[in-house]
Amino acid sequence: MIPYSKQDLTDRDIAEVTRVLKSDLITQGPEVDLFEDALKTEFSVDHAVACSSGTAALHLSYAALGVDSQSIGIVPAITFSATANAFRYLGAEVRFCDINPQTGLICLESLEAILAELPRVDAPCPGVIAPVSFAGSVAPLNSVKKLADSIGFKTIEDASHSPGAFSSFGTPPERSCSCIHTEAACVSFHPVKHICCGEGGVVLTNNQKLATIARQLRSHGIERPNDDSHETPWFYQQNNLGWNYRLTDIQSALGRSQLQRLPDQLKLRRKIADKYQRALREYPFNESLMAPPLEEGHAWHLYIIRFKEPTMRDKAHKFLKSEGIMTQVHYVPLYRHPYYENMYGEVRLPGAEKFYQSCLSIPMFPNLSEKDQDHVLDSLEHFCLNS
């Protein structure tokens, strides 16, 4: 089977993990600091707080801003559930924003309408907007920040799909993970993401207070002396109720090795996307489906086609599977999941529904061979001609 995505591990990656496994410390050792330093350099930010998953990164970021049961979290309806779940972990109310059905990115008109209707909340953190840089395309972060600032909300970028991505939005141009227009950016190191740690994540930020709190909450809320000048150097104390969200040295070594290859990985993803784009704008594809908008700085975590006739999506999924090709739907709108439907009732947003009913993610990963990509295109062509 050709998966819709998969990790790309090299002998160097394996050697780095083996090196740490043979060392004295496989967790809470020097590799985490080295990985964080490399992340700060790569994304030109002041702080990087590595943690156990992208979900943990979101949870830590929201918590560090003071999100609680009086807060409101606004998320695009098309995203992985973690973007919203991390608000619920803190007791916050979640509001679902519509998306642009052409791009999958947060719809500014929908966001503006939501903000206009919100009651004014007298709380340490009234609310947070979490735009998602979806599929590898950068969200309109500057515009979201302006709307958030107008009512005292904060902005956190869910950048799990987009490390290394850039776009022409805003002045200066938008760059995912830069934290120029956000309090923080959260990245996932799941195997199908750009940087694989097995599992893992990071909070990137230029906000020292946020970084300090997130770092403390990452390890049970415990604070230790920074050096040996303390009269009792072994001393530690728990200042807050935190979590065990630490990343191991094993994962950090793998992540640092992977991070060095990010520019090359992006080139490979863009090359694969370019081949799809050139093929899919021609007959017979262009009569049945739409390719995603082509952007120079797209990071291509996902390559999502959209069928003009929604009923074709599931037929295509089944046909391609019979041909040895795995595809996926990204995503079921969050408000359709029973947990959220039971909480907030039936919600339907037109942009999210239109996108959801027609979208299908076809194979996209750096080591997708030319032969396998040709097989994907040949099979998809056969489906379009015979459906």
- Do 255 and 335 share a domain, yes or no? no
Residue 26 included in any domain: yes
pLDDT < 50 positions in the chain: none
- Do 56 and 143 share a domain, yes or no? yes
- Do 283 and 335 share a domain, yes or no? yes
Domain count, the chain: 2
pLDDT for position 122: 79
Alpha carbons 133 and 137: distance in angstroms, whole number = 5
- Do 65 and 166 share a domain, yes or no? yes
Helix (H, G, I), strand (E, B) or coil at 74: strand
- Do 182 and 57 share a domain, yes or no? yes
pLDDT for position 108: 98
pLDDT in tens, 224-245: 877 666 677 788 999 999 999 9
Q: What is the pTM of this model?
A: 0.96
266 φ/ψ angles, rounded to the nearest 5 degrees: -65, -40
Domain limit, last residue, from 230, 260, 290: 260
pLDDT for position 173: 77
- Do 127 and 251 share a domain, yes or no? yes
- Which DSSP string corresponds to 290-326? EPPPP-TT---S-EEEEESSTHHHHHHHHHHHHTTB-
Burial of residue 316 (number of CB atoms within 10 Å: 0-12, 13-18, 19+): buried
- Do 213 and 289 share a domain, yes or no? no
Domain that includes residue 226, residue range = 11-260
- Do 133 and 103 share a domain, yes or no? yes
What's the angle, vertex CA 289, arms to CA 283 and CA 295, rounded to 5?
A: 95
Domain limit, last residue, from 229, 260, 291: 260
- Do 137 and 253 share a domain, yes or no? yes
- Do 253 and 297 share a domain, yes or no? no
**What CATH number is attached to the domain comprising 292?**
3.90.1150.10
Domain limit, last residue, from 245, 260, 275: 260
